[in-house]
Amino acid sequence: MNYVFIGTSLAKIIGLLGFVLGLMNYAVYAERRVSALMQDRLGPNRVGFAGLAQPFADAGKFLLKEQFTPAQVNKFYYFLAPCLAMIPAIITISVVPFGSTLFGVPMVIADINVGILFVFAIASLGVYGIVLAGWSSNSKYPFLGGVRSSSQMISYELSLALAVIPIFMLVGNLRLTNVVQYQIDNGWLIAPFFGDWTNPGKWLLAIPMLISFVVFLIAILAETNRLPFDLPEAEQELAGGYHTEYASMKFGMFFLGEYIAMITGSAIIVTLFFGGWHFPGIPDGSHGWIFGLINIAVFFTKVCALIFLFMWVRWTLPRFRWDQLMRLGWLFFFEIALVNIFIVAIILMFVH
C-alpha cells in the first residue's frame, strides 16, 4: 500500500469530519438567528461576541442533562437508534468532491465510479434510526412518528432518484468528480451562463434541469424531515414525534443528525447543480495552493447559502397535512420527475 495515499486520506477524513461537525454546530446557531431575523427579534446574542459561543453552551447543556431512560423501552434498540440516525448522514459526504486539488491531492475522500448510487444507498439507511426510535420507545406518539417517517422517506426517495437521472443522462457517468468537470466545461447545470454560448441544446436543457433541481430540492427537504415536511416530529400532533421519549445527548444526536443530513444534502445539490467547487474566473488548485483553498471556500459558501435557503423555507411555509404530503409525493413530483426524463431524452436525441 501507498503510505502517502493513506496519510492524505486520513488527513482529509479528519479535516472534513471536523469541519462538518463544526458547521453543524453553527448551523444550529444560525437557525436560531435566522428564525429571529424572520420574526423580527434578536435571537441568542449573549454568550460570547454576538452569541457566537452559543453552540458550546448548547453542547454543555446537552451533555450535562440527566440521561433519563423510560422504563418501558426496548433498551438495546433505544440506544442504537440515535447512532443510526446520525451515522449515514456523515458517511454520505465521503464521495462528494469538496475542492479541486490541494498540493496535488484531489479533495474528495473516495472518488468511486458509482458515486451517486452510493449516496442514495447510504442516505436510505437514515430511515432505520427513526423507525427504530419510534418502535423501541414503546409509546404511541413516537410510533406514529416512526411510521409516518418511514413511509415519507420511502415515497420521496423515488422522486429523489428519478430527479437526478437526467443529469447522468447528460454527463454519461455516475462519478461525482466527472459531474463537476462537466459543469466546469459546459457551465453549471442550473445556470449555463459560461462555456459555449452558441449551443442551443444547452439552453434547451437548462429547462428540464431547473425542473430536476426543484424536485430534488423539495425531495431533500422531505428526506431530511425539514419543514414543510416535518410531519414525523410535528409538535402539535405528535408531542415531538419519534424522539418524544429521548432526553439529553440522545435527543441531541437526533437533532444534530438532522442538521448533518441538511449539510450533506446541500453539498450534494451544490455538486450536482451548482458546479461544485467551481466559480467562473477562479482557477483550480493546480495553479497554486491558495486557489485550492479558495475552491474549498467557494464550495462551502455555496453549501451555507443553500442551508440559509432551507432555513428560510422552514420559517416561511406552514406544514402540510399528512395526506397532502403523500399525494404530493406520489401524484405530483413522481410524475414530474418521470416526464422530465423523457424530455431530456428527446432533447438529447435531437439536439446533441
Partner 1 sequence: MMSPFLFWIFAILMLVFGAAVIINRNPVASALSLVVSFFGLAALFLSLDAYFIGVIQVLVYAGAIMVLFLFIIMLLDLRAEELRKINWIASAGGIAVALALMFQIFSVVEKFPAAKQSFPPLAKPAPDDVRQIGLLLFNNYTLPFQIIGIVILVATVGVIILSRRETR
Q: Which is nearer to partner 1, 35 or 178 (CB)?
A: 178
Cα–Cα distances in Å, from 250 out to 70, 76, 79?
Answer: 13, 13, 8
Q: Confirm if 258 and 225 have CB atoms less than 8 A apart.
A: yes
- What 8-state DSSP symbol labels residue 320? P
Place of cell 459555449: 196
Residue 158 amino acid letter: L
Kindly identify the residues of this chain, within the stretch 37-96, that bind partner 1 according to CB under 8 A: 77
Q: Of 28, 35, 18, which Cα lies nearest the Cα of 52?
A: 28
Q: Of 308, 338, 286, 314, which Cα lies nearest the Cα of 99?
A: 286
SS3 106: strand
φ and ψ of 102, to 5 deg: -130, 115
Q: Which is nearer to partner 1, 120 or 315 (CB)?
A: 120
User: Does 105 interact with partner 1 (rule: CB under 8 A)?
Assistant: no
> Minimum distance between the CB of residue 121 and partner 1, rounded to whole angstroms?
4
> Minimum distance between the CB of residue 231 and partner 1, rounded to whole angstroms?
16
SS3 102: strand
List 30, 127, 220, 227, residue binding partner 1 (CB under 8 A): 127
User: Does 154 interact with partner 1 (rule: CB under 8 A)?
Assistant: yes
List 59, 147, 326, 345, residue binding partner 1 (CB under 8 A): 147
Sole window of 26-34, 55-63, 127-135, 249-257 interacting with partner 1 (rule: CB under 8 A): 127-135
List 125, 211, 247, 304, residue binding partner 1 (CB under 8 A): 125
> Minimum distance between the CB of residue 314 and partner 1, rounded to whole angstroms?
26
Q: Of 215, 230, 309, which Cα lies nearest the Cα of 263?
A: 309
Kindly identify the residues of this chain, within the stretch 161-180, that bind partner 1 according to CB under 8 A: 173-174
User: Does 143 interact with partner 1 (rule: CB under 8 A)?
Assistant: yes
The count of residues interacting with partner 1 (CB under 8 A) is 27
Place of cell 491558495: 290
User: Does 137 interact with partner 1 (rule: CB under 8 A)?
Assistant: no
Q: Of 157, 134, 161, which Cα lies nearest the Cα of 222?
A: 157
Longest alpha-carbon distance in the chain: 69
Sole window of 41-49, 115-123, 287-295, 342-350 interacting with partner 1 (rule: CB under 8 A): 115-123
User: Does 291 interact with partner 1 (rule: CB under 8 A)?
Assistant: no
User: Does 182 interact with partner 1 (rule: CB under 8 A)?
Assistant: no
Q: Confirm if 161 and 274 have CB atoms less than 8 A apart.
A: no
User: Does 334 interact with partner 1 (rule: CB under 8 A)?
Assistant: no
Place of cell 451515522: 87
Contact residues toward partner 1 (CB under 8 A) are 77, 112-114, 117-118, 120-122, 124-125, 127-128, 131-132, 134-135, 143, 146-147, 150-151, 153-154, 157, 173-174
